Amino acid sequence: MTTSWGDVTLTRHPEDPRDPLRAWDAADEYLLNHLAETGIGLSGTVAVLGDRWGALVTALHAAGAGELVQISDSYLGREATRANLARAGAAPDAVRLLTTQDPPPERIDVLLVRVPKSLALLEDQLHRLAPAVHAETVIVGTGMVKEIHTSTLTLFERILGHTRTSLAVKKARLIHTTPDPAAAPGPNPWPYRYALPADTPAPGLAGRTVVNQAGVFCADRLDIGTRFLLGHLPHGLGHARVADLGCGNGVVGLAVALAEPDAELLFTDESYQAVASAEENFRTHAGEGRKAEFAVGDGLADVPAGSLDLVLNNPPFHSHQATTDRTARRMFADARRALRPGGELWVVGNRHLGYHVTLRRIFGNSELVASDPKFVVLRAVRR
């Protein structure tokens, strides 16, 4: 990526030379060009929210910015940031890397916001960052035109102060907000709690109140794909070691914990918000003394080979705005490696995604467990 402070080489994480998607886009370029052209002072605390693969902080480090802080919900994004900063010659502590679950900086002099896909996550984080903003804070957001809606601008306006947008350049826009110390945004509505429907198709789940941190997929209701999987979970697992891969708020793993008292559970997701939700839901409902593992990471990459008996998975098929099956393919391959011989991967997905073909390539087999007009549940066995 070419910037006013020099070229920076950027990759996503994990690095894959076959991946056609770049680690930056026109929105990142627009924001960086604006900072350079306007000469905005970067000597104070510069907080960057939603920097997807570290493009912004890597470039700002090259620009000689003061105290750089990145705030991200993505484990993969944070690992990409580490790699990109190291490639640029930055010291390991050059940028303070925070998660969306960490306490934010106490004072922010420049706030840069890469608009996330989730409006809820944006709302939550703006509420959390607002106390650190002062009257002289420079606030600039960025995103592709299709990512910035009236509702997006309304959040900036209500929580931080007067907001306007720029003209579009290469289908990207900037958001300019003037801090209003008198702003009264009201309470942060996140995390959100709701009761699972009475007809939830899993023993013991119906009517239980679950929590979702902002940004977790389908944060205000039970996802219909998850609902379908809940109605077709395997039974009689005994002391099986079970992973809820891409756990979201952990409802699938919780259903197993309630139905299978001897099963060992691992909840894993690349979202810090998701794992925090899953852990709270498990602690609340699984029963006193019941243990489980919770890991924010790159799927099952850090799980020992042959250590799992069952993997349950509702894989995402979007990477930010891009539609891709790359994440699902990596999840399936990681599951195969982590499963013992005879272990099983159970997957729910939209029928049109053709996961049965991918599973046959990776596992050598795929069995249809259940289907309806929209979803399929598939089973693959580690031979």
pTM of the model: 0.95
Q: What angle do helix axes 75-87 and 55-62 make, rounded to 10 degrees? A: 30
Nearest to 241 by CA among 338, 378, 327: 338
pLDDT at position 12: 95
**Measured distance CA(192)–CA(211) in Å, rounded:** 6
* CA distances in angstroms from 365 to 301, 360, 362, listed in the order given: 22, 4, 8
Task: List the structure tokens of 182.
Answer: 């008198």
* Position 20 confidence tier, pLDDT thresholds 50, 70, 90: confident
- Mean predicted confidence (pLDDT) in 7-35: 93
Q: Where are the alpha helices (DSSP H) in 234-288?
A: 251-259, 272-285
Distance, first Cα to last Cα, the chain? 44
Q: Where are the alpha helices (DSSP H) in 213-339?
A: 224-230, 251-259, 272-285, 326-338
* Position 366 confidence tier, pLDDT thresholds 50, 70, 90: very high
**Measured distance CA(305)–CA(44) in Å, rounded:** 46
* CA distances in angstroms from 77 to 29, 63, 203, listed in the order given: 18, 21, 36
Contact 240, 211 (CB under 8 A): no
pLDDT at position 324: 56
Chain centroid, CA 200 distance in Å? 25
Taking the CA atoms of residue 214, residue 50, residue 37 and residue 157 in that order, the dihedral angle to the nearest 10 degrees is: 0
pLDDT at position 122: 98
**Measured distance CA(277)–CA(234) in Å, rounded:** 24
Helix (H, G, I), strand (E, B) or coil at 253: helix
* CA distances in angstroms from 24 to 12, 82, 150, listed in the order given: 9, 15, 24
Asked whether the predicted pLDDT for residue 194 surpasses 80, the reply is: yes
- What is residue 196's DSSP assignment? P
Taking the CA atoms of residue 204, residue 218, residue 296 and residue 193 in that order, the dihedral angle to the nearest 10 degrees is: -60
Nearest to 108 by CA among 125, 120, 89: 125
pLDDT at position 323: 46
Tell me whether strands 318-319 and 2-3 are parallel, antiparallel or unpaired. Answer: unpaired
Contact 300, 311 (CB under 8 A): yes
**Measured distance CA(254)–CA(248) in Å, rounded:** 11
Asked whether the predicted pLDDT for residue 235 surpasses 90, the reply is: yes
Q: Which string of b and e fits 333-350 if b means at least 16 CB within 10 Å? A: bbbbbbbeeebbbbbbbe
Q: What is the mean pLDDT of the chain?
A: 95
Asked whether the predicted pLDDT for residue 353 surpasses 80, the reply is: yes
Lowest-confidence region among 53-67, 198-212, 282-296, 306-320: 306-320
pLDDT in tens, 114-141: 999 999 999 999 999 999 999 999 999 9
pLDDT at position 318: 43
Asked whether the predicted pLDDT for residue 203 surpasses 70, the reply is: yes
Sign, CA dihedral 117-119-120-121, equals positive
Nearest to 21 by CA among 331, 332, 322: 322
pLDDT in tens, 295-352: 999 999 999 999 999 999 999 864 444 445 788 999 999 999 999 999 999 999 999 9
Q: Which string of b and e fits 216-248 if b means at least 16 CB within 10 Å? A: bbebeebbebbbbbbebbbeebeebbbbbbbbb
Give percent above pLDDT 90 in the chain: 92
* CA distances in angstroms from 288 to 202, 209, 282, listed in the order given: 20, 17, 10
Nearest to 237 by CA among 258, 218, 220, 219: 258
pLDDT in tens, 58-106: 999 999 999 999 999 999 999 999 999 999 999 999 999 999 999 999 9
- Please identify which residue in the block is written with the tokens 């790699």: 83
91 C-beta neighbours (distance < 10 Å), count? 9
**Measured distance CA(329)–CA(335) in Å, rounded:** 10
pLDDT at position 320: 42
